Structure 1
Amino acid sequence: MVKVASTFGRSGTHDYVLLRASAVILATYLLFLVSFLVATPNLTFEVWTGLFGNLWMKVYTLLALTGLLVHGWIGIWQVLTDYVKNSLGRGVLQFIVSVALIVYWLVGLFVLWGV
């Protein structure tokens, strides 16, 4: 069995399930944030920090950040594999995007748990 080192999952089916699960997490997170913004008439810094000060919100946000990392990682691999035929160019682009995704996740982690 050939294993591709650049994929996030173990197989195409596993990648498919990870993509769909991360999409559901991101969609529910977006719906929650939009409903919170609509339901809060006077959004202040204290309200915003109070929301993100809760442990459940930190966990939910970290889950959404992880879902974004997984979704972006698999998605960029699929797009670059389909459209960039030069293996060196594809590797460089995938490396750049992967590093950016990891940096976004780490920055989100430090900002989130710093509240």
Structure 2
Amino acid sequence: MSTNNIGPKRLVVGAHYGLKEWIIQRITAVVMVVFTIVLLVAYLISGGASYEAWAGLFSNQLMKLLTFLTFLSLFYHAWIGIRDIWMDYIKPVGIRLTLQTLTVLWLVACAAYAAEILWKV
């Protein structure tokens, strides 16, 4: 009996591949939009962009946490996009793995630097 690869009894491999990443990118985008709106409202309420106003805004631990959450969302959002670019356009596995590793290291370093900056203020 031959295998039938057409119709409802076919073997489906990789179904819904990428759906989780698509949803995560939408969630991280919403987090970034909400943060942008919060920042815009804070700017409009404070009436200016002086150093004192921004330092006062970021002296609040909740604002630091929200900002860091936004940075983490940005970095994860970027990881999904860059990873997909590497997977689509870099065919040699060794080069692709190297680029993915360098990308992860760069994004983790950026997250550490963002945390350092936020909690120095």
| Residue 97 (structure 1) aligned to one of 88, 97, 103 | 103
Residue 65 (1) aligns with residue 90 (2): no
| Residue 43 (structure 1) aligned to one of 49, 60, 75 | 49
| Residue 81 (structure 1) aligned to one of 87, 91, 95 | 87
Partners of 1:89 and 1:76 in 2: how far apart?
A: 14
Partners of 1:38 and 1:100 in 2: how far apart?
A: 34
Partners of 1:37 and 1:86 in 2: how far apart?
A: 48
Equivalence for 2:117: 111
Gaps (5+ residues) in structure 1?
Answer: 3-10
More helix by share: 1
Letter in 2 for 1:93: L
| CA-based RMSD | 1.9
Partners of 2:20 and 2:120 in 1: how far apart?
A: 34
The C-alpha deviation readout for 1:12-68, integer Å capped at 9, x for no partner, is 222222111111111222233344445543322111110011122111101101101
Q: Quote how far apart the aligned CAs of 1:75 are.
A: 1.3
The 3-state SS of whatever aligns with 1:53 is coil
The C-alpha deviation readout for 1:58-95, integer Å capped at 9, x for no partner, is 11101101101211111111111111112122112112
Partners of 1:113 and 1:85 in 2: how far apart?
A: 41
Partners of 1:39 and 1:53 in 2: how far apart?
A: 16
Partners of 1:86 and 1:39 in 2: how far apart?
A: 53
> Taking every aligned residue pair, what percent have the same amino acid on both sides?
30
Equivalence for 1:29: 35
Gaps (5+ residues) in structure 2?
Answer: 1-12
| Count of residue pairs brought into register by the alignment | 106
